[in-house]
A and B are shown apart, each in its own frame.
Chain A
Amino acid sequence: MSLRNIGIVYRKELTEAIRDRRTVISTILVPLLLFPVLSVGFGSLAVMLVGKAKEETPKVMLRGGEDSPEVVAGLKKLDKIEIVPETPNWKDQIINKEVRAAVEIPSGFQTDVAQQKSDTVNIYNYEGELKSEFATDKVEKYLKDYSDTLVKDRLAAKNLPVAVLKPFELKRENVAPPEKVSGAAFGGIIGYMVILLCMTGAMYPAMDLTAGEKERGTMETILSSPISRTHLVLGKFFLILTAALGTAALSVLSMGVSFSVLSHYTGQTADGRAAAAGFILHLGPKTVISVFLMALPIAVLFSAVLMTIALFAKTYKEAQSYLTPMTFIVIVPAIASMLPGVELTSKLSLIPILSTSLLCKELVAGTYHWNLIAIIFSSTCVYAAAALFIAIKMFQREAVLFRS
């Protein structure tokens, strides 16, 4: 094994890759810009849209209430709500977003309340429609407050404490550290993104260094040099691996910065901000190194498999048609790991991609199951070594190199 020869091939492939616009875009620019655009861009857009929706004064239609002036007056006094009179096509108006909600006060409501009879007040809205939900929330809050006031007055009239209806307070408190909470929430995404981006980062160079080389006519040139095919394939393989890991590393970096910026701008609750901050803090050197150590064998696996498949193609386009379905093969287990309730077990540890994805989730949350880590690392190493062995063998087959 000549490390010198492998290094010569690697350096040359690196020089060519850096000078290739498509490689630079897919390996450096896309992962760096993907998360800022997706999270900060869409996040800001969402904040802007929600803010705009909140600023609007929604129209709420009042049905009935002629004999309940006190409630109607209270509704009309509500800030940023415009109460409009009833029309026969009120349902259509809600559906067409001309009116955001309708509130129906039953006949004799105020009298019934005074006589302590129970009535039902209906609120009609457009479920899922943001502005309709805002209008409904405001009306609902007013009516709940009104109901609470009535209860308090009735209890006071009978000299009873409020505790009669509310014997105790219920309070929920999180004891898990913020990074574990955020790990459970964001850890799945980290694993998924690292795996997916290892794959997409490897894809372009894998095609360029095999099918691309055949298409450009340089395969015969390099095969006429004294370098052994094993050294040649290893030099190429290390460049593909560098691209895979580089893409994933830049993505995680970009994702961390994006989350941090996003949590700063979205005006989250204190808990949400703490979770986001914990998440960022927890992506310290230890977590990053752990995630990348676990991603290493899977990146080796992807690089070797993609290179072997792309080698069969005669042209870059043909290689693209072979490799595109591979994305789906990777996405399915990676997404499966994000499903609620899917936990890492020793059996699942043997399934490549899924196991690494689940493990990344645990690592980000700060949990280290060493026995499972050992199983996943060694099994993925075995798969990766097998894939690399096949890639080397394929590079020695004339039928593959000179397929016509």
Chain B
Amino acid sequence: MIEARSLSKRFQDKKRGEIRAVDNVSFTCQPGKIYGLLGANGAGKTTTLRMLATILEPTDGTATICGYDVIEHPEKVRANVGFLSTATALYRRLTAQEFVEYFGRLNGLDEATLKKRVDSIFNRLDMNGFRDRRCDKLSTGMMQKTSIARTLVHDPPVMIFDEPTNGLDIMTARTITSFIRECRNNGKTVIFSTHIMAEVEKLCDTIGIIQSGKLLVEGTLPQLRDKYAEHELEEIFVKVVTPHYVAEENN
């Protein structure tokens, strides 16, 4: 389970002064559910997810993952999380197998368990054809599968996806979305950020709309449809975000 409590992140910028990238964000993600964080570019999605993955430290507030506080026990949090984004690249000079094994070892797996897990994941994701190929020789689809294998190698109960389909072709994006669904079906807690409405409609159990670092609204898709009297998620999103977007532009 993920619980974010008044999560905030401020940055100092020489020209613009203090920037509130994430401002007092609270939400809960349940096991076996997918939480979709929907927002435009620069809304604060990546910063929020990076704080949950303990890559960044919150300025204020905190979050717990599987009961571990992101500030007090960052290493335990990371051991319970699989983090995937288009920014999490592969080590080009390692083979797909070496890459996955490296992260398995960093997650504390012993060699016997690691071998079993790697074989099982490579069979499941149909990766045996390229397991000994160096990552810089892989196609985009193979790279994505290798990244997925990396997030799964330690079988984490929580999965964090930061715009995982950004810039990918349809076939590779479908591999990712079906993997996200599979995670939910396996009882994992999933949080997923995107600005693609169709993905949210297809995948998410709960939707949170974020703009200017603030979580403006959250609920299931039917709840949001009722609240804003709109059927299309895109229309709901525009209704929610526009006043904040205009205010931000004026500032």
Please tell me if the beta carbons of B107 and A226 are within 8 angstroms of each other in the complex.
yes
Complex CA gap A5/B57 in Å reads: 22
B107's nearest neighbour on chain A, judged by CB, is A226
Partner of A221, one of B79, B81, B89: B89
B150's nearest neighbour on chain A, judged by CB, is A221
Complex CA gap A9/B91 in Å reads: 12
Please tell me if the beta carbons of A218 and B91 are within 8 angstroms of each other in the complex.
yes
Distance (Å) between the CB of A202 and the closest chain B CB? 19
Sorting the interface of chain A by its residue count into under 10, 10 to 19, 20 to 34 or 35 or more gives 20 to 34
Partner of B106, one of A16, A218, A227, A402: A227
Please tell me if the beta carbons of A20 and B107 are within 8 angstroms of each other in the complex.
no
Please tell me if the beta carbons of B55 and A226 are within 8 angstroms of each other in the complex.
no
Distance (Å) between the CB of A5 and the closest chain B CB? 7
Complex CA gap A15/B92 in Å reads: 11
A sample of 20 inter-chain contacts (CB < 8 A) reads A8-B105, A8-B106, A12-B91, A12-B94, A15-B94, A16-B91, A19-B134, A217-B88, A217-B89, A218-B90, A220-B85, A220-B88, A220-B89, A221-B150, A224-B83, A225-B103, A226-B107, A226-B108, A228-B75, A398-B57
Please tell me if the beta carbons of A224 and B55 are within 8 angstroms of each other in the complex.
yes
Tell whether A45 is near chain B: CB-to-CB under 8 Å: no
> What B residues does A220 contact at CB under 8 A?
55, 85, 87-89
Please tell me if the beta carbons of A221 and B78 are within 8 angstroms of each other in the complex.
no
Give chain B's interface residues, CB within 8 Å of chain A: 53, 55-57, 75-76, 78-79, 81, 83, 85, 87-94, 98, 102-103, 105-108, 134, 150
> What A residues does B83 contact at CB under 8 A?
224
> What B residues does A402 contact at CB under 8 A?
56
Distance (Å) between the CB of B223 and the closest chain A CB? 32
Give chain A's interface residues, CB within 8 Å of chain B: 5, 8-9, 12, 15-16, 19-20, 216-218, 220-221, 223-228, 398, 402
A8's nearest neighbour on chain B, judged by CB, is B105
> What B residues does A227 contact at CB under 8 A?
75, 106
Complex CA gap A5/B102 in Å reads: 10
Please tell me if the beta carbons of B102 and A12 are within 8 angstroms of each other in the complex.
yes
Please tell me if the beta carbons of B90 and A221 are within 8 angstroms of each other in the complex.
yes
A16's nearest neighbour on chain B, judged by CB, is B93
Please tell me if the beta carbons of A398 and B98 are within 8 angstroms of each other in the complex.
no
Having A8-B105, A220-B87, one finds 18 other A-B pairs with CB under 8 Å, namely: A12-B91, A15-B94, A15-B98, A217-B87, A217-B88, A217-B89, A218-B89, A218-B90, A220-B89, A221-B90, A224-B53, A224-B55, A224-B78, A225-B106, A225-B107, A228-B75, A398-B57, A402-B56
Distance (Å) between the CB of B52 and the closest chain A CB? 10
> What B residues does A9 contact at CB under 8 A?
106
Complex CA gap A317/B63 in Å reads: 38
Please tell me if the beta carbons of A221 and B56 are within 8 angstroms of each other in the complex.
no
Indicate whether A225 sits within 8 Å of B78 (C-beta atoms), given known contacts A12-B102, A220-B85. yes
> What B residues does A15 contact at CB under 8 A?
93-94, 98
Please tell me if the beta carbons of A216 and B92 are within 8 angstroms of each other in the complex.
yes
A218's nearest neighbour on chain B, judged by CB, is B89
Complex CA gap A398/B55 in Å reads: 8
Please tell me if the beta carbons of B55 and A223 are within 8 angstroms of each other in the complex.
yes
Complex CA gap A15/B91 in Å reads: 11
> What B residues does A16 contact at CB under 8 A?
91, 93-94
> What B residues does A398 contact at CB under 8 A?
56-57
Residue in B53, B76, B85, B103 with the greatest tally of chain A CB atoms within 10 Å: B103
Please tell me if the beta carbons of B81 and A224 are within 8 angstroms of each other in the complex.
yes
> What A residues does B56 contact at CB under 8 A?
398, 402
Distance (Å) between the CB of B146 and the closest chain A CB? 11
Distance (Å) between the CB of A173 and the closest chain B CB? 60
Please tell me if the beta carbons of B88 and A5 are within 8 angstroms of each other in the complex.
no
The 9 closest A-B pairs by CB, nearest first: A217-B89, A224-B83, A226-B79, A221-B88, A226-B78, A19-B93, A16-B93, A225-B106, A227-B106
Distance (Å) between the CB of B18 and the closest chain A CB? 14
Distance (Å) between the CB of B45 and the closest chain A CB? 15
